[in-house]
Amino acid sequence: MNMSRNRLEKLLELVSKTRILVFGDYFLDQYWVTDPELEEVSLETRLPANQVVKVRLSAGAAGTVANNLAALGVKEVVALGIIGDDGNGLELIRSLQGAGVTTDQLILSPDRLTPTYTKPLFLQPDASQVEGQRIDIKNRTVTPWQLENELVQRLRQSFLSLDGVIVLDQAQEEDCGSVTTSLRQGLIELGTDNPDQPCLADSRTRIHKFRSVVVKVNEHEAARGWEGVQASFSEGCRAIHKRTNRPVVVTRGAKGVIGFDGQECRELSAIPSSGPLDIVGAGDSFSAGFLSALAATGDFWEALQLGILAAAVTVRKLGTTGTASPEEILRVSAEIL
């Protein structure tokens, strides 16, 4: 890490002036805390009935990225995607608005479900919580073309009106979420026509289909270079860059990050941390830090450093999908600067 304290403070100030679009799959994370000591037996079915004593709701998937941007102090965070016109959708919007995210570009449709992860948490005698089997609500039918068309139009209108874009492709079912084949093609066209607009794509299963944007890949994808042939990271990054014509970001967990700007490949170490860690949400924190810094200054290597610092904050927050504030980033940076 070669950024001075003064430069980091200036970078965070510049980040606070940016406006970022988060386009993709918005999920609702729903936690049900149940108390086994209150378990009842259903009179109708004679089956055990778990008793929920507390409910926690938060925005997940693209919503986690949006929350991280808001926590970083970004001037405006705009959410774009399709959710259901249902109770979970309203809760999702309320959660995003509570974090300061602009939600008027979200499309609410009675023909879609709001993707929801419901996570039962069982209280233990020592007051700890054990997570039970998750219950998922997802769309398993292809996104209607009318909604695709509306989303394409909104993406085109927003792409250049803001300072940067993060794309989060969470839905594993092909063409059943917001980032469909048509939307991805529209994004590729926008990226091709506007090469200077900072745009980062992150996809659970289809990152190899993105072009003309910065892609964030894991080390296994990078080693294959998307061609299925084992290679060095440098060779893999060059192969990916040849197809995307944009810089490449390789995340390696506790080993840090590898960046390729089109000319040079560098390895940046993670911030050392002691004690128990929780990696949930660290990738989204990295994305928020990286893209907001890239939008603020255009410096790829500096942006990678802010992404690493943001992730270092969130991994220290146990049992929650954490975010990183400027103050928290400055405290972590004091350990190494």
Q: CA nearest 66: which of 316, 291, 330?
A: 291
Which pLDDT score, from 0 to 100, does residue 279 have?
Answer: 60
Is 18 a residue whose pLDDT tops 80? yes
Q: What pTM was computed for the model?
A: 0.93
Measured CA to CA, the distance from residue 238 to residue 242 in angstroms comes to 6
Which pLDDT score, from 0 to 100, does residue 222 have?
Answer: 77
The average pLDDT across 317-321 equals 62
> How long a stretch of residues is the chain?
337
The average pLDDT across 320-325 equals 79
* Residue with more model confidence, 1 or 7: 7
187 in helix, strand or coil?
helix
Which pLDDT score, from 0 to 100, does residue 316 have?
Answer: 72
Whole domain around residue 186: which residue ranges? 5-333
Tens-digit pLDDT profile for residues 201-249: 999 899 999 999 999 998 877 776 666 656 678 888 898 999 999 999 9
Which pLDDT score, from 0 to 100, does residue 144 have?
Answer: 97
Which pLDDT score, from 0 to 100, does residue 233 have?
Answer: 81
Per-residue confidence band for 128, with pLDDT thresholds at 50, 70 and 90: confident
Is 275 a residue whose pLDDT tops 80? no
Tens-digit pLDDT profile for residues 30-81: 999 999 999 999 999 999 999 999 999 999 999 999 999 999 999 999 999 9
Which pLDDT score, from 0 to 100, does residue 290 have?
Answer: 98
Q: What is the CATH number of the domain that holds 74?
A: 3.40.1190.20
Is 269 a residue whose pLDDT tops 80? yes
Domain count, the chain: 1
Which pLDDT score, from 0 to 100, does residue 333 have?
Answer: 86
- What is the rounded (10 degree) CA torsion for 190, 138, 59, 313? -80
Q: CA nearest 71: which of 326, 248, 302?
A: 326
145-149, 240-244, 265-269 — most confident range: 145-149
Measured CA to CA, the distance from residue 223 to residue 240 in angstroms comes to 10
Only one residue has tokens 């014509």, namely 245
Q: Which residues pair with 20 in a beta bridge?
A: 77, 164
* Residue with more model confidence, 322 or 63: 63
The average pLDDT across 114-122 equals 95
Contacts of residue 334, Cβ cutoff 8 Å, sequence gap at least 6:
5
| Chain centroid offset of residue 14 CA | 21
